[in-house]
């Protein structure tokens, strides 16, 4: 660590240099320069410059820091609340934990909630009001943008507000929002709409499947939201759906499924777990966990659905039922048996790519099975927008030129709307376009006014969970910039007397509770949820059976079905500027910093394509060049196009990463017939795992129900066994629970200040994730298996033997610690690590310049510099915090005091961590399981991180 | 006592006297006009040296990430180069120390520049372990010294043993080289015509006056150092081998490494001796001093060590399957068929196949063929180091973490740069110092003169007296 | 021919060699001395407000915790906030010119910029509360602040100094009642041993683990 030169010496040299720049240099000056440079060189070994200490002017509650404080709040994605606890240190939100009291979380989180904290500190967030001065007709020309103020906007708004309010006037107002569940915001929106007789609300949900909503309408003549209960189900059938990653209830689904399997995992005789059937077009997390899985194109999945439904719906005509599908026969027969056995404990879920009829049929089938009310609850959609128009309606109005003022609130149609709408031009047709959002995105750049919105963790607010439970948002930090929450903005627009978010939310919830409001408020705020506010189940009449559409004609061989899905990490582009997510290996392809068109091996060989080929897709007039990635588990003749790439104005991270599939996307459907031709160009993917086959090395093991793994042979030790008398920390990862959702990877990255390295570095093999999730093809169950791999903390650690400076050593509690400040970077430890879990700072990866990113860092974890080795530490800072807390209180540590970041994020509770010396601890229980094994045990490294084998489905 | 006129030829052509030998060798330094080929070579290598230094600067600024290394391949060219240069650095000490103890006359005319080669090669080698560190400015932490952290090196790590092995080797071979040169420096001093040269050589000669006492001390010290250096020939590369053998990676973890590395070292070392000797004798008309006999002997050493190396390859492959260790087997199969397979087969061709021509006397006496062969062997030995370092780690225990090392332009610059700097140092050496030991050559002359009378070691100083004015102050 | 070097020249050369050796030794000494200079032991450090621990602790006998409020509960002892100072100085000496900066800070909300006396590297995670809980008295590391008109560093705060205590804590412990006393004597070995056991400090291993201070 070299010290900056002492200012005086520096100044002296400055002066000398000045002199030297002068015309002639004489001997004296040269000597002076030499002397000065000597002095300067000397400062390297002079004492460090005096640092200053700035105390608080008023010490905040909670003290000077060092202890994290947790605020119950929620992260709002697609309008739905994901309950979280915002962990903040020294007043900075730095880590997100799940809120155990929240129905969509139960204490776990998904990757988006974990990465949301980086979104808060995103240096590219919009910080000021921006006004466009000169307005060009052409959106492609960069207009004159000037930063402005909220008061300026308010003044400007008042003018057109009067015009809008005028009952005899003609000025029209359209408001475009994303899905909206917040009671406060919806109430304010209503008042705003009420003020202007010619105001209308439109909802734009880029990733939601219109067919699903239409299907519900078809079946029940009303909109419904489906809440699945995996814990009550005996048999779950997912049709082109991935309930473990799609929708606001995904984490809860995984959690319920996992807990329903606990008995089976513990080997309790006669225990039953829900049997999962997946008929999927493109690989998803649910399919990878399914006991029985078949890959079919959406059309054939519908065929399967109709055939299955027929067994419960005799009234269906043979024309509806159609012909049998040999590819799915075995799957189908098993499925029928399981559904019959399960009866009302069955659950059928339809997903993107199915037609409205199919969705209607799914609902009807659930009803016939008796599932509705038991494994499936139908509720009023929390984001229902009665009377609200669609994006298509808005575009028509825009094209007709009947829109004077368009207010886009928290949406980015200029990017994520299907290209058929030609949004960039359509938006220009509005006489006044106002955009409010977190970023100066594609839409913001077209707007006359751009208004910066507050992040979820900066504002007071509310939103509803997937089951309708009301969730309160409280700020964990005052807004970083001069921003407003959506509610505050709506209040401003609606000329509401109240402008402060706290007051607005309180007013919303006080109605009807005036008596005991304070108590209610404190209680709800503390819990993060409003007790018993879940939406009541709907009573629906018997579902009307849809009529099946004529099967599409056999398509020519050059034509493929394109299926549009949200990208597994950037979620349709909304998180494109989030480095953690861009660099997150997608669960199946392990691609980072990219999106790829997935095709099955059979289709690839039929069309003579291989991974990396760039092909030109054509649908009607529009074309799109995309790189192909050949993916097993993919249905034949199907092309999966992840949405969320090719952002033009996401920010420094997300611009021009991958391709923008919405160029081809049709107005409403999620599928499209495309023709394909090769361009001859190649594309390099940055992939973190090149070898999917585990070469029979039994890294990821499977067992049949009730059977035990062969115990490891006892090996003689040359050295005495490692002793950790006080505590012996260990981790056991249950591969039967892991669904490969990557939440642990992002949680670890947030907790441990793990840098983002960028595509080129990942391509070189330098990704920094401390806990990676390996995927293996498991022949024995003909499916994918996921295996999280953190540091094994071997008791006989090969890495420690070879470090010349003792920078990696064991501590007395069995942690294999990496002492960054001692590491010289020989990398011998990594060469010698059989599990290859060590990560090296080949270059200066940690961003030391961007202020906001510094603020996100965990103060309890050293930020590593260039040339230093790093790796999983079992969250040693959390261990230390727990220990110090216990020592202050003079009590022993108990099981559960230490929870690692990966463990707390895991939606299926697959990760067990604890003290081996505590015989009652969770991890000890896990290690006694007959499924317990150590990876590469024959190397006899005595790993502290061990695994529980995945249970094979009984055929 | 074998006469210098050995059965298969002489190690010094007849017709040379003390004065002529001295004049010839000293003349190379003192009175040789600078000719353009030498100048061109000097400038070219100097340029490469400067590029090398520039590359180092950039490396310290940016970090080792400018190379192609990654996880799993944590070591790339840097360590391969290190091992390769250490190996080359072996022949010198072997020639001067071991062959001296074995009374091999033919070493006389080649030991001086062989030792220089050793010194420079070891120097090149010594750089890489420091360059490859993530934080080179803390390299001194590998040395034991009392610090205010109360910390010491981690003695179980072979890298720490390396520090001592390499440092010892550098010091001893430097001393050996300098001590052997003392009488010659005195000769240079006395033959020098300009004051500057007289002073320069005079300072280096440490006041050598060729007295009997000087010679006696010199002989003893020289023999002692030879005895000291001999074990080092074995120890250094054994320790370097343990850098790998101690590791558990398939391809590293092998008990045969120490002997196999030492043999490989001599193999590459003698190859480099030939690569240097052949152009040298050609350029300076030293055919009479470095005769076919020398080349012939060196070639035989090549053949012998080459077979030991070949045996090493054989055992490695055999043990992989004999052990039944699935990781070893997979790694070996990958060597044969994987991404780096071409390098592996090329390596076998260079190190095992080609040297077999040396069975034929004609080949051993064909300087051009020997020169080309020696180049190939140097190449082959480098590829061997590369395979051990890169291929092994690229294909170890976790298939999910398998990855390839692809060298970047910087990797190549550092390899070329070290070769350039080595060559430059050598050119400077033959420019300023006698490339062949004058005093020992004169011993050869003497022994030819008063054959068959066995020469008494103690009397060797008299030979100097014959030499004329040299050494009198 | 004549000798290249006159006897005088030879002498000069020999002296030169000696000089070089001497210089080498001198350089080593210089660096050792430099390393000492890091420690800055006993150098009073000028502060924007010449705060005197001697006055507050020595003369007034104010307990450490009165100002360093979080020393028992948190990693940071808590550098007193402006408000804490004003707790007294809104009444006492309120018009002293010395305290102008303090009132200014309270008015503007800008903190007083104190000069740091005790600094640890960023990769060292020191926790006051645990040391206090274990019975390490303030004087052990901060010295007799009650005798410091201006705060200075009493100990080098280097790793080997920390380790001295972590390896053998028994001789540095005091009963809880005396932890904040300045002149309390060290207890006799028997009592010290009892304190160590009570604080679970028998295991030297835990206290010398790298992970105890580095993360």
Task: Round to whole Å and give the CA distance between A841 and B63.
Answer: 9
Cα A717–Cα A721–Cα A724 angle in degrees, nearest 5: 165
- Partners of residue B66 in chain A, C-beta under 8 Å: 843
**Residue of C13, C35, C158 with shortest CB distance to B203:** C13
Whether A579 shows a pLDDT value over 60: the answer reads yes
pLDDT band at C131 (very low <50, low <70, confident <90, very high): very high
pLDDT in tens, A771-816: 999 999 999 898 999 999 999 999 999 999 999 999 999 999 999 9
Q: And the tokens for C142?
A: 């901060």
As a whole number of angstroms, the distance between CA C121 and CA A807 comes to 17
SS3 state of residue A21: helix
For the whole model, what pTM was predicted?
0.91
Q: Among A47, A815, A860, whose Cβ lies nearest the Cβ of C125?
A: A860
Question: A65, C116: Cβ pair inside 8 Å?
Answer: no
What is the chain C residue with the closest CA to B469? Answer: C1
The residues in A 717-776 lying below 8 A from C, measured between CB atoms, are 725-726
User: Quick one: residue A66, left, alpha or beta (phi over 0 = left, psi -120 to 50 = alpha)?
Assistant: left
Tell me whether residue B457 is in a domain: no
What is the per-residue pLDDT for A319?
79
* Whether B2 contacts B105, CB under 8 Å: yes
Position B473 in a domain: no
Interface of B with C in 14-33 (CB under 8 A): none
How big is chain C by its Cα radius of gyration, in Å? 25
Across the strands, what pairs with A613?
A682
Give the model confidence (pLDDT) of B395-434 as tens digits: 999 999 999 999 999 999 999 999 999 999 999 998 899 8
Question: Which pLDDT score, from 0 to 100, does residue A789 have?
Answer: 97
Q: Which of A770, A826, A945 to mutate to test the interface with B (most CBs of B within 10 A)?
A: A826
Structure tokens at A48: 């460090």
Q: Structurally, how many domains does chain B consist of?
A: 1
| B199 at interface of C, judged by CB pairs closer than 8 A | yes
Counting Cα atoms < 13 Å in the Cβ hemisphere of A274 gives 31
Res. C1: pLDDT tops 60: no
Count CB neighbours of C31 within 10 A.
10
Pick from A237-251, A316-330, A606-620, B132-146: least confident: A316-330
What is residue A63's predicted lDDT score, i.e. its pLDDT?
Answer: 65
What average pLDDT is seen over chain A? 90
Instruction: Tell me how many degrees the CA angle A899-A232-A267 measures, rounded to the nearest 5.
Output: 60
| Shortest Cα–Cα distance, A714 to chain C (Å) | 29
Whether A479 has a pLDDT exceeding 90, the answer reads yes
CA distance A154 to A161: 10
Instruction: Check: CB of residue A639 under 8 Å from CB of residue A555.
Output: no
pLDDT tens, A733-747? Answer: 999 999 999 999 999
Asked if residues A267 and A703 have their Cβ atoms less than 8 Å apart, the reply is no
pLDDT value, residue A197: 83
Largest CA distance in chain B: 75
pLDDT at B468: 38
**pLDDT at residue A46, rounded to an integer:** 54
- In this complex, the residue of B63, B252, B397 whose CB is nearest that of residue A842 is B63
Averaged pLDDT for residues C14-26: 94
Shortest Cα distance, chain C CAs vs residue A17, angstroms: 28
Closest by CA position to B132, among listed B81, B171, B72? B81
For A600-700, list the strands marked E by DSSP. 613-619, 622-630, 638-643, 671-682, 686-687
Given CB atoms, is A821 within the 8 Å cutoff of chain C?
Answer: yes
Q: What is the pLDDT of residue B443?
A: 81
Whether the per-residue pLDDT at B110 is higher than 90: the answer is no
* Alpha-carbon gap, residue B214 to B219, rounded angstroms: 9
- Subunits with 3+ Cβ pairs within 8 Å of C are A, B
Q: What is the DSSP string of C185-212?
A: PPPPHHHHHHHHHHTT---HHHHH-GGG
Inside any domain, residue B231: yes
- By the CB < 8 Å criterion, does C167 face chain A? no
Contact residues, chain A, for B393 at CB < 8 Å:
831
Q: Write down the pLDDT at residue A57.
A: 84
CA–centroid distance for C25 within its chain:
31
A-B CB pairs within 8 A amount to 164
Whether C114 sits inside 8 A of A53 (CB atoms) is yes
Cβ-in-10-Å burial (0-12, 13-18, 19+) of B327 comes to: buried
Q: pLDDT for B316-346, tens place per residue? A: 999 999 999 999 999 999 999 999 999 999 9
Strand stretches in A274-324, DSSP E = 275-280, 292-295
Sheet-wide strand order for A292-295: A292-295, A275-280, A235-239, A346-350
Give the H/E segment covering residue C87: helix C82-89
Q: Given pLDDT bands bounded at 50, 70 and 90, which one contains residue B438?
A: confident
Q: Is residue B92 part of a domain?
A: yes
The CA distance from B67 to B355, in Å, is 33
Q: Rounded distance, CA A841 to CA A824, Å?
A: 11
> What whole-number percentage of chain B has pLDDT above 90?
62
- Specify the residue for token string 């952002």: A647
pLDDT at A13: 40
Average pLDDT in the B69-82 region? 95
Q: Testing the interface with C: which of A3, A65, A66, A857 to mutate, by most C Cβ within 10 A?
A: A66
Which one of B153, B158, B404 has the shortest CB-CB distance to A805?
B153
**B73 is a domain residue:** yes
A257-277: average pLDDT: 91
Q: Does residue A362 contact residue A305 with C-beta atoms inside 8 Å?
A: yes
Per-residue 3-state assignment (H helix, E strand, C coil) for chain B: CCCCEECCEECCCCCCCHHHHHHHHHHHHHCCCCCHHHHHHHHHHHHHHHHHHHHHHHHHHHCHHHCCCCCCCCCCHHHHHHHHHHHHHHHHHHHHHHHHHCCCHHHHHHHHHHHHHHHHHHHHHHHHHHHCCCCHHHHHHHCCCCCCCCCCCCCCCHHHHHHHHHHHHHHHHHHHHHHHHHHHHHHHHHHCCCHHHHHHHHHHHCCCCCCHHHHHHHHHHHHHHHHHHHHHHHHHHHHHHHHHHCCCCCCCCCCCHHHHHHHHHHHHHHHHHHHHHHHHHHHCCCCCCCCHHHHHHHHHHHHHHHHHHHHHHHHHHHHHHHHCCHHHHHHHHHHHHCCCHHHHHHHHHHHHHHHHHHHCHHHHCCHHHHHHHHHHHHHHHHHHHHHHHHHHHHCCCCHHHCCCCCCCHHHHHHHHHHHHHHHHHHHHHHHHCCCCCHHHHHHHHHHHHCCCCCCCHHHHHHHHHHCCCCCCC
**Chain C: residue whose CA lies nearest to B147:** C160
Over residues A936-952, the pLDDT tens digits come to 999 999 999 999 999 99
Mind telling me how many Å the CA of C160 is from chain B's nearest CA? 5
Q: What is the pLDDT of residues B246-266, one digit of tens each?
A: 999 999 998 899 999 999 999
Is B367 inside a domain boundary? yes
pLDDT at A5 over 60: no
- Cα–Cα distance between C196 and A30 in angstroms, integer? 63
CB contact under 8 A, C1 and B203: no
> Which of the four pLDDT bands, split at 50, 70 and 90, describes residue B465?
very low
Confidence of residue A166 (pLDDT cuts 50, 70, 90): confident
Please answer yes or no on whether A867 and B158 come within 8 Å at the CB atom: no
pLDDT in tens, A277-335: 999 999 999 999 999 999 999 989 999 999 999 999 998 888 778 888 888 899 999 99
A548-552, A757-761, A824-828: least confidently modelled range: A548-552
pLDDT confidence of residue A906: 96
pLDDT tens, A687-705? 999 999 999 899 999 999 8
Helix (H, G, I), strand (E, B) or coil at A784: strand
Number of residues that this document lists for chain B: 473
Read off the pLDDT of residues A830-854 as tens digits, 9 standing for 90 and up: 999 999 999 999 999 999 899 999 9
Find the chain C residues whose C-beta atoms sit closer than 8 A to any C-beta of B: 1, 3-5, 10, 13, 35, 156, 158-161, 163
**Distance between alpha carbon B375 and the CA centroid of its chain, in Å?**
14
Closest Cβ–Cβ partner in B326, B400, B403 for A765: B403
Check residue C43 and give its pLDDT. Answer: 85
CA-to-CA distance for A117 and A858, rounded, in angstroms? 12
**Torsion on CA atoms B456, B457, B458, B461, rounded to nearest 10:** 100
Contacts of A891 (CB under 8 A, 6+ apart): none
Q: Name the residue facing C160 among B150, B189, B198 (closest C-beta).
A: B150
B305 in Cβ contact with B263 (< 8 Å): yes
Q: Give residue-wise pLDDT tens across range A17-26.
A: 343 344 455 6
Q: What is the pLDDT of residues A41-65, one digit of tens each?
A: 554 455 566 788 888 888 777 666 6
Confirm if A476 and A93 have CB atoms less than 8 A apart.
Answer: yes
Rounded Cα gap, residues A438 and A458, in angstroms: 12
- Of A826, A832, A824, give the one whose Cα is nearest residue A816: A832
| Average pLDDT score, chain B | 88
Q: In degrees rounded to 5, what are phi and psi of residue A776?
A: -125, 145
Average pLDDT score over residue span C46-65: 92
Helix (H) or strand (E) segment spanning residue A775: strand A772-778
The minimal CB distance from A50 to the residues C34, C106, C115 is found for C115
Residue B175: give the domain boundaries.
11-134+153-450
Q: Please tell me the distance from the alpha carbon of residue B149 to that of residue C38, in angstroms, as a whole number.
A: 14
Chosen from B329, B398, B405 to mutate, greatest number of chain A CBs within 10 A: B398
- Model pLDDT for residues A358-368, shown as the tens digit of each residue: 999 999 999 99
Please report the pLDDT score of residue B6 as a whole number.
45
Q: Which residues of C touch A901 (CB under 8 A)?
A: none
**CB contact residues (below 8 A), chain C span 60-79, against chain A:** 69-70, 72-76, 78-79
Percent of chain A with pLDDT over 70: 92
CB atoms within 10 A of CB A354: 27
Question: Phi, psi at residue A650, to the nearest 5°?
Answer: -85, -35
CB contact under 8 Å between C203 and A811, yes or no, is: no
What phi, psi does A659 have (nearest 5°)?
-115, 155
| Residue bearing the bigger pLDDT, A766 or A954 | A766
Asked if the C-beta of B191 comes within 8 angstroms of chain C's C-beta atoms, the answer is no
Contact A805 B142 (CB under 8 A): yes
Pick the closest to residue A505 from A530, A468, A469 (CA basis): A530
Question: Can you say whether residue A353 is alpha, beta or left, with left for phi > 0 and alpha for psi between -120 and 50 degrees?
Answer: left
DSSP state for residue A454 in the 8-state scheme: P
Neighbours, chain A (3 or more CB pairs < 8 A):
B, C
pLDDT of C182-195, one tens digit each? 888 888 888 888 88
Q: Which residues of C touch A53 (CB under 8 A)?
A: 79, 113-116
Count interface pairs B-C at CB distance under 8 A: 27
From B151, B202, B469, residue closest to C4, measured CB to CB? B202
Q: Do C210 and A58 touch (CB under 8 A)?
A: no
Q: Identify any residues that bridge with A484 across adjacent strands, giving them in sequence order.
A: A453
**Chain C residues near residue B202 by CB distance under 8 angstroms:** 4-5
Instruction: Please say if the pLDDT value at position A402 is more than 50.
Output: yes
The pLDDT, as a whole number, for residue A168 is 85
Q: For position A33, what pLDDT does the model report?
A: 62
Q: Is B28 among the domain residues? A: yes
Answer whether residue B464 shows pLDDT above 50: no
DSSP conformation class of A464: E
Tell me what the mean pLDDT of segment C183-208 comes to: 85
Domain assignment of residue B461, yes or no: no
Chain A residues in contact with B136 (beta carbon < 8 A): 824, 867
């Amino acid at each position: 660590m070299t010290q900056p030169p002492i200012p005086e010496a520096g100044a002296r040299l400055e002066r000398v240099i000045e002199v030297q720049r002068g015309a002639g240099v004489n001997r004296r000056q040269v000597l002076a320069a030499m002397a000065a440079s000597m002095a300067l060189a000397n400062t390297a070994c002079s004492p460090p410059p005096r640092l200053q200490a700035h105390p608080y002017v008023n010490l905040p509650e909670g003290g000077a820091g060092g202890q994290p404080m947790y605020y119950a709040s929620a992260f709002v994605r697609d309008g739905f609340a994901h309950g979280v606890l915002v962990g903040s240190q020294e007043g900075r939100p730095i880590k997100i934990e799940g809120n155990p009291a929240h129905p969509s979380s139960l204490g776990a989180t998904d990757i988006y909630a974990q990465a949301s904290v980086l979104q808060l500190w995103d240096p590219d967030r919009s910080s000021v009001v921006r006004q466009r001065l000169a307005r060009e007709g052409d959106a492609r020309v960069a207009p004159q943008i000037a930063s402005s103020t909220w008061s300026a906007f308010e003044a400007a708004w008042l003018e057109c507000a009067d015009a809008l309010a005028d009952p005899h006037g003609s000025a029209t107002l359209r408001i475009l929002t994303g899905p909206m569940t917040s009671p406060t915001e919806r109430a304010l929106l209503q008042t705003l709409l009420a003020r202007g007789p010619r105001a209308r609300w439109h909802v734009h949900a880029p990733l939601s499947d219109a067919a699903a909503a239409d299907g519900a309408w078809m079946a029940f003549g009303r909109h419904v939201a489906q809440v699945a209960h995996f814990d009550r189900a005996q048999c779950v059938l997912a049709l082109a759906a991935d309930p473990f990653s799609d929708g606001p209830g995904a984490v809860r689904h995984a959690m319920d499924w996992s807990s329903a399997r606990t008995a089976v995992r513990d080997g309790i005789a006669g225990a039953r777990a829900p049997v999962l059937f997946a008929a999927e077009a493109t690989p998803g997390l649910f399919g990878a966990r399914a006991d029985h899985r078949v890959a079919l194109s959406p059309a054939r999945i519908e065929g399967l659905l109709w055939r299955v439904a027929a067994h419960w719906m005799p009234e269906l005509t043979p024309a509806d039922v159609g012909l049998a599908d040999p590819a799915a026969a075995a799957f189908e027969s098993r499925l029928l048996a399981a559904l019959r056995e399960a009866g009302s404990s069955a659950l059928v879920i339809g997903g993107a790519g199915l037609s409205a009829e199919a969705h209607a049929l799914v609902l009807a089938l659930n009803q016939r099975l008796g599932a509705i009310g038991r494994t499936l609850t139908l509720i009023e959609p929390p984001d229902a927008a009665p009377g609200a128009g669609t994006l298509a309606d808005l575009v028509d109005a825009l094209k007709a030129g009947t829109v004077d003022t368009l207010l886009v609130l928290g949406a980015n149609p200029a990017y994520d709307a299907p290209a058929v709408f030609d949004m960039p031009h359509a938006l220009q047709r509005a006489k006044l376009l106002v955009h409010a959002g977190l970023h100066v995105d594609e839409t913001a750049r077209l707007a006359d006014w751009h208004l910066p919105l507050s992040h979820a963790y900066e504002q007071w607010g509310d939103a509803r969970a997937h089951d309708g439970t009301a969730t309160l948002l409280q700020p964990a930090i005052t807004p970083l910039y001069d921003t407003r929450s959506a509610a505050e903005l709506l209040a401003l627009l609606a000329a509401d007397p109240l402008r402060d978010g706290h007051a607005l939310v309180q007013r919303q919830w006080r109605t009807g509770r005036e008596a005991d409001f304070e108590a209610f408020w404190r209680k709800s705020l503390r819990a993060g949820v409003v007790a018993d506010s879940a939406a009541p189940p709907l009573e629906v009449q018997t579902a009307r059976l849809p009529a099946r559409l004529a099967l599409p004609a056999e398509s020519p061989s050059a034509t493929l079905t394109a299926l549009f899905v949200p990208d597994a990490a950037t979620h349709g582009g909304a998180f494109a500027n989030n480095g953690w997510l861009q660099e997150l290996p997608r669960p199946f392809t392990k691609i980072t910093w990219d999106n790829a068109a997935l095709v099955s091996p059979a289709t690839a060989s039929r069309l003579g394509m291989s991974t990396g080929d760039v092909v030109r897709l054509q649908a009607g007039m529009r074309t799109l060049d995309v790189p192909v990635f050949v993916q097993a588990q993919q249905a034949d003749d199907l092309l999966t196009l992840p949405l969320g790439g090719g952002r033009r104005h996401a920010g420094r991270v997300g611009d021009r990463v991958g391709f923008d599939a919405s160029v081809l996307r049709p107005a409403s459907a999620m599928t499209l017939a495309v023709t394909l031709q090769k361009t001859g160009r190649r594309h390099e993917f940055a992939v973190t795992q090149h070898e999917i086959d585990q070469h029979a090395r039994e890294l990821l093991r499977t067992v049949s129900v009730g059977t035990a793994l062969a115990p490891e042979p006892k090996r003689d030790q040359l050295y005495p066994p490692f002793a950790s008398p006080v505590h012996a920390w260990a981790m056991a990862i249950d591969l039967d629970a892991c669904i490969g959702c990557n939440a642990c990877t992002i949680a670890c990255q947030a907790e441990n200040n793990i840098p983002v390295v960028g595509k080129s570095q990942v391509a070189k093999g330098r990704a920094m994730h401390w806990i990676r999730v390996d995927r293996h093809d498991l022949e024995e169950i003909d499916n994918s298996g996921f295996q999280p791999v953190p540091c094994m903390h071997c008791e006989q650690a090969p890495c420690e033997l070879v470090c010349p400076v003792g920078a990696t050593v064991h501590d007395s509690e069995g942690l294999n610690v990496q002492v960054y400040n001692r590491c010289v970077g020989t990398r011998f430890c990594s060469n010698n690590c059989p599990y290859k879990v060590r990560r090296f700072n080949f270059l200066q990866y940690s961003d030391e310049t961007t202020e906001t990113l510094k603020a996100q860092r965990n103060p309890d974890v050293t930020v590593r510099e260039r040339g230093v080795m790093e790796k999983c530490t079992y969250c040693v800072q959390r261990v230390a915090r727990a220990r110090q807390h216990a020592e202050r209180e003079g009590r022993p540590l108990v099981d559960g005091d230490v929870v690692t970041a990966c463990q707390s994020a895991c939606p299926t509770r697959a990760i067990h961590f604890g003290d081996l010396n505590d015989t009652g601890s969770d991890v000890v229980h896990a290690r006694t399981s007959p499924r317990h094994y150590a990876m590469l045990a024959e190397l006899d490294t005595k790993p502290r991180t061990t695994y529980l084998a995945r249970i094979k489905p009984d055929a | 006592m074998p006469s210098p006129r050995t059965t298969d030829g002489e190690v010094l052509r007849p017709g040379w006297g003390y004065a002529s030998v001295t004049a010839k060798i000293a003349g190379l330094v003192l009175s040789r006009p600078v000719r353009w080929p030498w100048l061109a070579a000097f400038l070219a290598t100097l340029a490469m040296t400067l590029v090398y230094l520039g590359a180092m600067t950039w490396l310290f600024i940016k970090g080792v990430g400018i190379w192609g290394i990654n996880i799993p391949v944590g070591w790339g060219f840097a360590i391969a180069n290190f091992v390769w240069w250490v190996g080359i650095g072996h022949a010198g000490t072997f020639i001067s120390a071991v062959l001296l103890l074995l009374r091999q006359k033919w070493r006389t005319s080649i030991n001086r520049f062989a030792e220089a080669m050793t010194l420079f090669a070891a120097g090149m080698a010594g750089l890489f372990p420091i360059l490859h560190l993530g934080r080179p400015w803390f390299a001194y932490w590998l040395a034991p010294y009392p610090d205010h952290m109360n910390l010491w090196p981690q003695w179980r790590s072979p890298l720490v043993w390396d520090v001592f092995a390499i440092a010892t080797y550098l010091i001893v071979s430097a001393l050996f080289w300098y001590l052997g040169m003392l009488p010659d420096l005195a000769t240079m001093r006395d033959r020098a015509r300009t004051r500057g040269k007289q002073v320069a050589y005079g300072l280096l000669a440490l006041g050598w006056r060729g007295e009997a006492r000087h010679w006696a001390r010199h002989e003893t010290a020289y023999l002692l150092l030879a005895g000291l250096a001999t074990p080092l020939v074995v120890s250094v590369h054994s320790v370097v081998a343990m850098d790998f053998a101690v590791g558990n990676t398939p391809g590293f973890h092998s008990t045969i490494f120490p002997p196999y590395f030492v043999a490989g070292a001599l193999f590459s070392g003698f190859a480099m001796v030939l690569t240097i000797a052949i152009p040298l004798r050609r350029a300076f008309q030293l055919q009479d001093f470095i005769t076919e006999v020398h080349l012939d002997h060196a070639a035989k050493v090549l053949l012998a060590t080459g077979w030991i190396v070949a045996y090493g390859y054989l055992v490695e492959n055999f043990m992989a399957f004999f052990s039944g260790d699935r990781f070893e087997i997979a790694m070996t199969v990958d060597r044969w068929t994987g991404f780096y397979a071409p390098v592996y087969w090329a390596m076998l061709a260079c190190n095992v196949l080609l040297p077999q021509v040396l069975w034929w006397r004609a080949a051993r006496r064909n300087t051009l063929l020997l020169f080309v062969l020696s180049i190939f062997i140097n190449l082959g030995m480098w590829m061997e180091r590369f395979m051990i370092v890169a291929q092994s780690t690229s294909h170890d225990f976790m298939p999910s973490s398998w990855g390839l090392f692809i060298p970047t332009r910087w990797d190549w610059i550092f390899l070329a740069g070290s070769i350039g700097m080595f060559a430059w140092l050598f050119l400077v050496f033959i420019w300023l110092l006698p490339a062949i030991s004058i005093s020992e050559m004169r011993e050869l002359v003497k022994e030819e003169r008063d054959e068959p009378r066995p020469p008494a070691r103690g009397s060797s100083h008299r030979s100097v007296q014959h030499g004329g004015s040299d050494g009198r102050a | 021919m004549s000798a290249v070097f006159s006897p005088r020249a030879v002498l000069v050369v020999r002296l030169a060699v000696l000089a070089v050796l001497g210089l080498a030794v001198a350089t080593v000494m210089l660096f050792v001395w430099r390393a000492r200079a890091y420690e800055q032991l006993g150098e009073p450090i000028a502060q924007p407000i010449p705060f005197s621990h001697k006055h507050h602790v020595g003369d007034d006998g104010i307990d450490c915790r009165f100002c360093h409020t979080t020393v028992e509960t948190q990693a940071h002892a808590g550098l007193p906030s402006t408000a804490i100072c004003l707790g007294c100085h809104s009444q006492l000496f309120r018009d002293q010119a010395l305290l102008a900066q303090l009132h200014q800070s309270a008015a503007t909300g800008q903190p007083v910029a104190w000069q740091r006396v005790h600094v640890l590297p960023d990769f060292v995670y020191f926790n006051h509360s645990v040391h206090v809980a274990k019975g390490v008295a303030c004087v052990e590391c901060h010295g007799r602040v009650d005798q410091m008109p201006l705060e200075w560093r009493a100990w080098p705060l280097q790793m080997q100094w920390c380790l001295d205590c972590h390896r053998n804590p028994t001789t540095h412990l005091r009963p809880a009642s005396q932890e904040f006393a300045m002149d309390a004597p060290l207890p006799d070995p028997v009592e010290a041993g009892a304190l160590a056991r009570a604080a679970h400090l028998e295991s030297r291993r835990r206290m010398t683990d790298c992970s105890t201070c580095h993360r």
